[in-house]
Amino acid sequence: MDLGIAGKLAIVTACSGGLGDAVARSLAAEGVHLALFARSEARLRANAVEIQRRYNVRVVPVVGDMRSRDDVENLVAIVEREFGGPDILVLNTGRPPLPTRDVLEETDDDRWEQAYRTQLWAAILVARRVTPLLVRRGWGRVIAITSASVKQPMPNHGLSTIFRAGVTGLMKHIANEVASKGVTVNTVCPASIVTDSLERTYDLSERVKHIPVGRLGRPEELAATVTFLASEYAGFITGTSIHVEGGMVASLL
């Protein structure tokens, strides 16, 4: 199935590994050119070379921190110069601080600040700068990666739920503001998708017992959902959240 996005340019944030990297590769497999944005220069450059070689698309690595306005400005300047502007924005972010705790045990203001800046402020900075560039082109896709915890809060995960709910609100507002301009805005909400950092953080053998499909998720499964939302076919889907979590969320909708 040709998703109709070959030749477009996607900015993928927080993509030196894990889900962001999987999304970048999935888009590249559709012929989408990439601007990769994260802080780890060596990993980003190595990924860019490999993706470019494997999928024959242009890949520009941009080293920077999503929480920095200057770094976001640098990202935009490079994308404008190299590609004339973006068509797709995949808004992935870093994780909340570890270890996870109950909200009332979160008494360290620095952890709240870190959780806010990494997940919500970073998303605000990038989304408000890049989305108008999609509107200018009259076609665009914004997809934010949040967490299934926005639908069903998980114990000890307040510093994720609270700020990712903020990202969900941010995306819904922007979706409404740009709906008539050819730009769709959605979120994808993962849980229990195996990445290196998830394996380092949790006892996954225990977690799998709570997943109805009976297994953990694969990054490619999350990435395929994002890629479909980025496609020409998803033009009538906006302002919504799609869960990729093996049936773990117990709510009706």
Ligand X SMILES: NC(=O)c1ccc[n+]([C@@H]2O[C@H](COP(=O)([O-])OP(=O)(O)OC[C@H]3O[C@@H](n4cnc5c(N)ncnc54)[C@H](OP(=O)(O)O)[C@@H]3O)[C@@H](O)[C@H]2O)c1
- List the structure tokens of 6: 């070959």
SS3 content of the chain, % helix, strand, coil (to 5): 50, 15, 35
Number of chain residues interacting with ligand X (CB under 6 A): 29
Could you count the other beta carbons within 10 Å of the beta carbon of residue 39?
A: 16
Which uninterrupted H or E stretch holds 10?
Answer: strand 9-13
Contact with ligand X (CB under 6 A): which of 62, 115, 193, 234? 193
Contact with ligand X (CB under 6 A): which of 28, 35, 36, 38? 38
Stretch that binds ligand X, among 2-10, 75-83, 132-140, 194-202 (CB under 6 A): 194-202
Least distance from ligand X to the Cβ atom of residue 71, Å: 8
Residue 247 burial (10 A CB sphere; 0-12, 13-18, 19+): exposed
Q: Say whether residue 130 binds ligand X (CB under 6 A).
A: no
- Residue given tokens 């950092």 in the structure block: 197
156 alpha carbon, distance to own chain's centre:
22
Contact with ligand X (CB under 6 A): which of 93, 100, 186, 225? 93
Residue showing the smallest CB distance to ligand X in the complex: 18
Stretch that binds ligand X, among 52-60, 90-98, 107-115, 166-174 (CB under 6 A): 90-98
Could you count the other beta carbons within 10 Å of the beta carbon of residue 156?
A: 14
Under rule CB under 6 A, which residues in 221-240 are in contact with ligand X? none
Contact with ligand X (CB under 6 A): which of 28, 61, 65, 171? 65
Stretch that binds ligand X, among 25-33, 86-94, 131-139, 204-212 (CB under 6 A): 86-94
Cβ distance to ligand X smaller for residue 14 or 230: 14
Contact with ligand X (CB under 6 A): which of 3, 9, 18, 51? 18
> Which positions ≥6 away from 27 have C-beta within 8 Å?
5, 10, 12, 34, 88, 90, 223, 226, 227, 230
253 alpha carbon, distance to own chain's centre:
22
> Which positions ≥6 away from 143 have C-beta within 8 Å?
88, 89, 90, 91, 185, 186, 187, 188, 226, 229, 230
Q: Say whether residue 168 binds ligand X (CB under 6 A).
A: no
Contact with ligand X (CB under 6 A): which of 4, 29, 31, 39? 39
**Helices 122-137, 69-83: crossing angle, 10 deg rounding:** 30
Least distance from ligand X to the Cβ atom of residue 2, Å: 28
Least distance from ligand X to the Cβ atom of residue 108, Å: 19
247 φ/ψ angles, rounded to the nearest 5 degrees: 85, 10
Q: Say whether residue 95 binds ligand X (CB under 6 A).
A: yes
Least distance from ligand X to the Cβ atom of residue 202, Å: 9
Q: Say whether residue 66 binds ligand X (CB under 6 A).
A: yes
Q: Which residues contact ligand X by CB under 6 A?
A: 14-20, 38-40, 65-67, 92-95, 118, 122, 145, 147, 190-193, 195-198
